[in-house]
Amino acid sequence: MKPVVGMSFDNMDDVEKFYKAYAHDGGFEVRVVSRNLSLDGQITNKRFLCSRNGFNKSKDNETDEPSKKKKKRVVKRCGCDAHIYVKLGADKKYYISSMVEEHNHALASPSKTPFLHSNRSVSQRAKNILFTCHKASIGTSLAYRLLQVTDGGFNTIGCTKRDFQNYYRGLREKIKDADAQLFIAQLERKKEANSAFFNDFVVDEEGKLVYVFWADATSRKNYSHFGDLVSFDATYSTNQYGMKFTPFTGVNHHTQSVFFGAGFLLNEKIESYEWLFKTFLSAMGGKAPSLIVTDEDASMKVAIASTFPETVHRLCMWHILEKVHEKVGHARSNQEEFWPLLNACVWGSENEDEFETRWNAFIAKYALKRNEWMANRYAIRESWVPAYLKHIPLSGILRTTSRSESANSFFKRFIHRKLSLVEFWLRFDTALECQRQEELKEDHVSLHTTPQWITPWPMEKQGSILYTRNVFKRFQTEVIAARDRCSVVSITPFESIKMVFINDESKRDRVVRWCTTSIFGNCSCMLFETMGIPCRHIISVARGEKLRELPEAYILKRFQKRCKRQQEYEGFIGCQIPEKIEIHPPTNVRSKGGCKRIKKAKELPKPRKRKNVKQDPPAQ
């Protein structure tokens, strides 16, 4: 419908909506310029122009400076006089009092109308898509592409990618000052919904956020099962405020990474880490981990020593090996034998003497004797080389570089320098749900499927019943190796102890020290001590002792399918079952009357009265 003089409208919004729709069909943009208001604030008249009305002003006072880069703007205005002029009538309706329909420029074709500025807007559907995509760690550009696919093309979206990006930028600018408060409010809402959610934060004198920590109910419950081993990392890329993201992670019964809690720190001072570790300890009921793995931060080392005095602290192998390229130079590290020799030295050495022999040979081969960084790594070898850590229970579970890479890739999905705290929380919450969904998937597979047995041994069947699927795969490998590769070389008895020497077709024989009294043994390979899985040598000795199944001590609870079964009972009684019991129930006390109260005479039942029954006289 074309505008005509005398056309009436109920309000000014209807006028604007009508003229913009007309402009969209006609192929030009609309610009609103002048309006007048009455004493009561009502609009009395308004002018709607073609956007190319008038002329661009020339800026003669500006001088061209080569050092300053200026954006060259195109000239859009050409003096077009097309417009409508709307006035308020006596009946409080708006009427078109004058108009010019003709334009002095070419109009946009139907295929170009989506680019007209006045016809573009970010719809509510587009905003919802943007919000959903950011929760899934999908950026604005990809979200716009998704809109293009789902809405049937660019023409139906209603805005350009630049409009989409500008809306997102405006949203970030709007929440900028309230970002920290909105983030803390999100944590508080989580706590209101579930009282087991834990969070704490600290602000400075100016009210600015300094520290924050949180751990939900599931994280705290996971820590109660798998909190003996903790990996702590403060090397991830930070948000737009420069705060360090500091997650606590561990390993669950499927050997997957599991989240225990996380925080943000404004700096990396000793007091910052001390606050974080004390808060973490408070959230976990005062239970400190037996082993914690971190990077080489000096402040972190001091804070761990003061907060977790009984915890073994070692350094992450992955972070150290990641720096080798930079510290020794690419010319050396890119040589063909460099990494095989280094890996054989670090990973393949089974004792301290073997490591030092291989290390010295490696240093001499690549002329690294004067390399200060390599010398410092050797000086602290007891804190990161596996050969020095075998006395630490289950120390091998966290030592693999693949685990660190997995955790690193997981956190990098939602860590970005440009993210606000609110954006971080949206992405983090979604990513954490994905991690837990993977655990539930493994729970289902482990509980409702039966792995295929390779041997007829009852030990293998025992492992398939008790272990989770991933752990059983590793255990099954040891069972098969015990059957196919292991042979007893000799047995030396010492009263209740047997020293069993076993050859497994490797370069060295293994020694199993087996106690016939406790029915338990230790192997020189120390696989069970470091990884928690019985080795092929122990399995061979157990079979030689005529044991059909492994002793219970070899089946660690943390690797069993039903290691979380206790949660069902705790959910029923409404609290956690303590590991250390200080208050015990009383023993049965024998007292007068036993467990029944002696009844008084008036409480006893009255005796029943017999009724007189007439008897027939005896027969004559």
Total-model pTM: 0.76
- Please list the residues that pair with 511 across neighbouring strands: 501
Q: Which pLDDT tens digit goes with each residue over 300-333?
A: 999 999 999 999 999 988 888 889 999 999 888 8
pLDDT at 160: 83
Angle at 489 between CA 485 and CA 495, to 5 degrees: 125
**Rounded average pLDDT over 172-192:** 90
Query: Percentages helix, strand, coil for the chain, rounded to the nearest 5?
Result: 40, 15, 40
* Share of residues in the chain with pLDDT > 90 (%): 49
Domains of the chain as residue ranges with CATH: 8-56+76-110 (no CATH), 120-174 (no CATH), 219-316+384-448 (3.30.420), 324-377 (no CATH), 458-559 (no CATH)
Which helix H or strand E contains 405, and what residues bound it? helix 401-411
Q: Which pLDDT tens digit goes with each residue over 370-397?
A: 999 999 999 999 999 999 988 888 888 8
Are 268 and 234 contacting, i.e. CB atoms less than 8 angstroms apart? yes
Task: Give the C-alpha distances (Å, rounded to integers) separating 537 from 233, 394, 480, 483, 484.
Answer: 36, 18, 11, 10, 12
Tokens of 229: 């081993």
CA neighbours closer than 13 Å in the CB half-sphere of residue 403: 21
Are 549 and 458 contacting, i.e. CB atoms less than 8 angstroms apart? yes
- Judged by average pLDDT, the poorest of 6-15, 48-57, 180-189, 470-479 is 48-57
pLDDT at 262: 93
For the chain, the residue count is: 620
pLDDT at 33: 81
